Structure 1
Amino acid sequence: MSKQRPEKTKDRPEKATAVVEDHPSTIMTDDYMCVILSTIDDYPCSGNLYIDLQELCLLMGVKEIPVVTPRQPASLSPATDKDNIEHYHSRAESQLLYSKPCVQVVLENEDPLNLKSIRICGWKVDVSVARVLCKILPSLSNLQILHLWQARLSDQMVFSLSNTFPLCSNLRTVVLEGNPLPEQSFHLLMSKDSTLTHLSLRNNRIGEEGARLIGSALSTTTTTNRNLVSLNLAFNSIGDAGAAHIAQGLRLNRALHCLSLCNNKIGDTGAAHLARVLGPFALTHEEIVERRRLLLDREEAAPSSSSLMSTNKVMSRGSVRKRVEPVESPLLEASVQHRDGQVLLSGNTALSSFNLSGNQISEQSLSLFLSSLQMQTEGGGLQRLCLQRNRFSPDCEDLVKIQELMALRDPHNKSTESQLEQEGH
């Protein structure tokens, strides 16, 4: 999916009015600002956030330069990391420990050149600081996690960050929470070219339109995100229509393993879409046309017998090259069936953990989930399905059957499910 730069809502003023802090008499005109930006582009980042943040903020005329402070590293285990995130929310953020801009970092062996995690929580990141961050991040070669909570980023800032993240060699986890965007640009973080594997977008007022964009980012008939492994969309009020859009994105996505849609006002209509995509479903006309095109392309790309003989001769001479197999579309799966005039795909069996707790799902949807789960083949399919705090009795027959089925696939499911539900993941 191609990225489109968010349109500006306000015209750029003819003259900038920012004042350089060290030179109060210097008014930053457009020409002067161009010189500043050119200088920033030419600045050679050292990979030391402490130094580069200070120097670049001075060049940008930032009046209140964020303070870089170390924090204790979190465990690498997912469960413990979730505990740390919740602990941080309930303590540091709710008590507003920082009275001025602060960047929390985790260092490996207290080495400023070996920074692994950055947290920006509870203060507004303005345009200047956002530009500085986009300049610095690619130089932090060991950075793995970026956490932004209530940073009041704009759509334009998220657009810039989405272009910066692929330049960060080891950045795989981004947490952007409590940050509603007017143009719902969150989907830019999960385009087909995104290198992120873990993305949390809790409490961002994503709604139906944001869910539509995210669903298309997960997959369309012709494109799909191949890297994102876990996605947290809890507390976003996407509703039934939004759930249908996410289900549409799950049809041809085979990379995502963990998805949370808890506390999203999803009822039986939305749940039905989500349940059906887990089991065999009929391809649409558009998908059938694309499948035929892919089959034709594959047939045309198949090597002839003469080319195979030539390849064998080259390899026998010791010129062996590693062959990179392209990732095929699910539309080419061998399990595709033809029945009653329909072309049936086996369904999404890549998703292993699904959280739908805290919604408005009634007992009538449970039979749909149970039916889809029973049709999932061995070696794939859901292992955890969280359904607590919905509109059915905890001892209803279909729920008990679902829990028994999940227990067979994952013996530790009971304790893990309870933990995920309590944490809102």
Structure 2
Amino acid sequence: MGKKGERGARDKAAALEEEARNAARKAEQGEEEYQCGGILEQDFAELCARAGFQEIPRVVTRPHGGHPAAALPEESDPPVEPSLLAQIQSKYSYFRPALQVELEHEDPKSAREVFIRGWKVEEKMLSVLAKCLPALSHLQGLHFWKAGLTDLTFASLLALLPTCTNLRGCSPPPPPPPPPPCRTLAVEGNPLPERSFYKLISEDSTLAHLCLRNNEIDDEAAGLMGQALAALRSSHKGLVSINLSCNHITDVGATHLANALRLNRSLLSLSLASNRIGDEGALKLAEVLGPFALTHTEVVERRRLLLEKESQERGRLPQRQPDVKSERPSSHVSNTAIDKLQPAKVTKALNKKKEKELAKKEEKEKALMSMVQAATVAQAKKEEAKQGKKAVPPAEQKPVRGKGTKSGPKDKRVQVQEVEVTEPTETVNPLLEPAEHRDGKVFLPGNQVLLYLNLLRNQITEVGLKAFLAVVEHQISRVPPPGGKGPTGLLRLSLGKNNYPADSKTFARIQELMALRDPLPKAGARPLEEEQAASGT
């Protein structure tokens, strides 16, 4: 072990020396830093050559939605019989490292998806990708299949993602603005010992679709991901689908993910196919999709949020202004303290003077009010005579602001309500959803945002099927149908290839109910369960 460690240290030191020599050579020759032009084939080849790669992987165009085997060009028969070495090279050229690219259209600058399949990506190669990928303005997805990622290279991949503008959700400047990108990341067949996949669901991440199939994700890794999804204030709000198929998740991991769905209201699709989930995990998942009771911690948090909401609403309400008649002059208020210190005779004289002054002021105010009312009535009559129409009732008149007009408390209240309606609505905390109190507990209606749940090829029996049947029946009776207002609930539920009898009436009933809710039914096609099982998805 000591010799291997020394050998690795020597190799690393030699690599650092070679990079230093290359940097010095570039500085001596005055070579400028390469500016990527957005054509991946040219940029990737040039950056690999400058990084000192002896063998540069090819950049191959992949047909849109095509099979990986169709990505490589067909080999034409040579006119002359090749040598044995040439035959071997042409035979195994398919297995050479290649960077597969799917284009949006024929323009070479429209790289849409980038695929790395079946060859190890090291730190040096990721540094090259970090330079050429941000220049792709149409990039929507990155796919790493059995790329030999480690915890170290995975950290470099995390640093690479924010630099890709379209994966970050940024669009080119108008006109006209393009549609929002898919922001997809697929990391398959790359198990990580430190279980770092939960870092993809951080607050700074803006991925929408995350595929983590065949990564040996266990219950501990699923627990870390569940914590990231359940964190209400720091969870990734843009993540709408997660694929955790073909992993090692059992009932414990399914329970962690079910607890995350209690408060997560952004996830639309969750795939847990080909795992080791039994009835216990199925019951937990079914529980959060229907009405569930809050825990003591959640009840305390709900009360705190309700008090905070009430205080905010009180702060938004306009303050009541006192009436003019009940408002006391500032001089009278300021002299009350002095009156107590003065002799009785002096205070009586002052009070008489103040009463006379107040009476004169009231008379003047009444005279002014009568004059103003008379002027307004006369003006209204003139306008009616000119227009030849009846006066509009005061309730239907629109308030017109002039230089000397002031809005009263009612006008202010109406203005505040209008502003509140026009403001964009914020995401409602799930703990503030309408609750039901029974048996001394607080029940929420459950997660009605999740649209698709895939539990194909697990270990669920008839017990788990009955729990899901109850949930489906409840959602159909309470949740509005597709196209209606509000959450819709499950539209697809995949439970095929589990441990229940082939003639299970419960499974048949679930299939019958879900077929009515499927937004994209296929006429004359096989059921969804059989189709997915046959395709291996």
User: TM (normalized to structure 2)?
Assistant: 0.65
Write out aligned runs for 1:113-192 (5 A): 113-171=109-167, 172-192=183-203
Aligned to 2:260: 249
Do structure 1's residue 420 and structure 2's residue 532 form an aligned pair?
A: yes
Do structure 1's residue 330 and structure 2's residue 450 form an aligned pair?
A: no
Alignment deviations for residues 187-232 of structure 1 (CA, whole Å, 9 cap, x no partner):
2222233222111111110111111112122223544332122211
Alpha-carbon deviation of 1:270? 1.4
What is the aligned-residue identity percentage? 44
- Match of residue 466, structure 2, among 353, 364, 367: 367
* Local SS of the residue matching 1:116: strand
8 A contact 2:497–2:533 mirrored in 1: no
Distance 1:63-1:354 versus aligned 2 partners, 3 A rule? same
Distance 1:145-1:96 versus aligned 2 partners, 3 A rule? farther
* Local SS of the residue matching 2:18: coil
Write out aligned runs for 1:336-415 (5 A): 336-376=435-475, 377-379=478-480, 380-410=488-518, 412=521, 415=527
Write out aligned runs for 1:200-219 (5 A): 200-219=211-230
**Range that drifts further, 294-303 or 369-378:** 294-303
* Local SS of the residue matching 1:17: helix
Alpha-carbon deviation of 1:18? 4.5
Distance 1:322 1:49 in 2: 45
8 A contact 1:149–1:176 mirrored in 2: yes
Distance 1:315-1:44 versus aligned 2 partners, 3 A rule? farther
Q: Could you tell me which runs of 5 or more consecutive residues in structure 1 were left unpaired when the two chains were aligned.
A: 1-9, 21-25, 75-83
The one-letter amino acid of 1:410's match is D
Alpha-carbon deviation of 1:177? 0.7
Alpha-carbon deviation of 1:90? 11
Aligned to 2:388: none
Alpha-carbon deviation of 1:126? 0.6
Distance 1:15-1:417 versus aligned 2 partners, 3 A rule? closer
8 A contact 1:370–1:402 mirrored in 2: yes
8 A contact 2:63–2:71 mirrored in 1: no
The alignment of Structure 1 onto Structure 2 pairs a total of residues equal to 392
Distance 1:315-1:374 versus aligned 2 partners, 3 A rule? closer
Aligned to 2:39: 48
Distance 1:214 1:149 in 2: 21
Distance 1:55-1:91 versus aligned 2 partners, 3 A rule? closer
Distance 1:301-1:64 versus aligned 2 partners, 3 A rule? farther
Distance 2:147 2:19 in 1: 25
Alpha-carbon deviation of 1:128? 0.6
Distance 1:236 1:329 in 2: 32
8 A contact 1:263–1:358 mirrored in 2: yes
8 A contact 2:317–2:413 mirrored in 1: no
8 A contact 1:219–1:225 mirrored in 2: no
The one-letter amino acid of 2:448's match is T
Aligned to 2:277: 266
* Local SS of the residue matching 1:133: helix
The one-letter amino acid of 2:116's match is I
Write out aligned runs for 1:291-310 (5 A): 291-302=302-313, 303-306=315-318
Distance 2:422 2:157 in 1: 34
- Match of residue 61, structure 1, among 52, 60, 81: 52
Aligned to 1:81: none
Bigger helix share: 2
Distance 1:40-1:229 versus aligned 2 partners, 3 A rule? farther
The one-letter amino acid of 2:427's match is V
Alignment deviations for residues 113-144 of structure 1 (CA, whole Å, 9 cap, x no partner):
21111111000001111122223322212111
Q: Could you tell me which runs of 5 or more consecutive residues in structure 2 were left unpaired when the two chains were aligned.
A: 73-90, 168-182, 320-408, 481-487
8 A contact 1:57–1:128 mirrored in 2: no
Distance 1:395 1:193 in 2: 48
Return the index of the structure with the highest Cα Rg: 2
* Local SS of the residue matching 1:98: helix
Distance 2:111 2:31 in 1: 22
**Range that drifts further, 48-57 or 380-389:** 48-57
Distance 1:30-1:351 versus aligned 2 partners, 3 A rule? farther
The one-letter amino acid of 1:323's match is E
8 A contact 2:286–2:467 mirrored in 1: yes
8 A contact 1:17–1:28 mirrored in 2: no
Alignment deviations for residues 74-97 of structure 1 (CA, whole Å, 9 cap, x no partner):
2xxxxxxxxx5xx438999xx986
**Range that drifts further, 107-116 or 270-279:** 107-116
Alpha-carbon deviation of 1:382? 1.3
Distance 1:408 1:154 in 2: 45
Distance 2:36 2:115 in 1: 20
Alignment deviations for residues 45-104 of structure 1 (CA, whole Å, 9 cap, x no partner):
332222322233233333332211112112xxxxxxxxx5xx438999xx9863332101
Alignment deviations for residues 166-202 of structure 1 (CA, whole Å, 9 cap, x no partner):
3423331111111111111112222233222111111
8 A contact 1:115–1:143 mirrored in 2: yes
The one-letter amino acid of 2:105's match is N
The one-letter amino acid of 1:123's match is W
Distance 1:41 1:160 in 2: 25
8 A contact 2:232–2:264 mirrored in 1: no
Aligned to 2:250: 239
**Range that drifts further, 126-135 or 409-418:** 409-418
**Range that drifts further, 384-393 or 396-405:** 396-405
8 A contact 2:206–2:236 mirrored in 1: no
Distance 1:150 1:131 in 2: 19
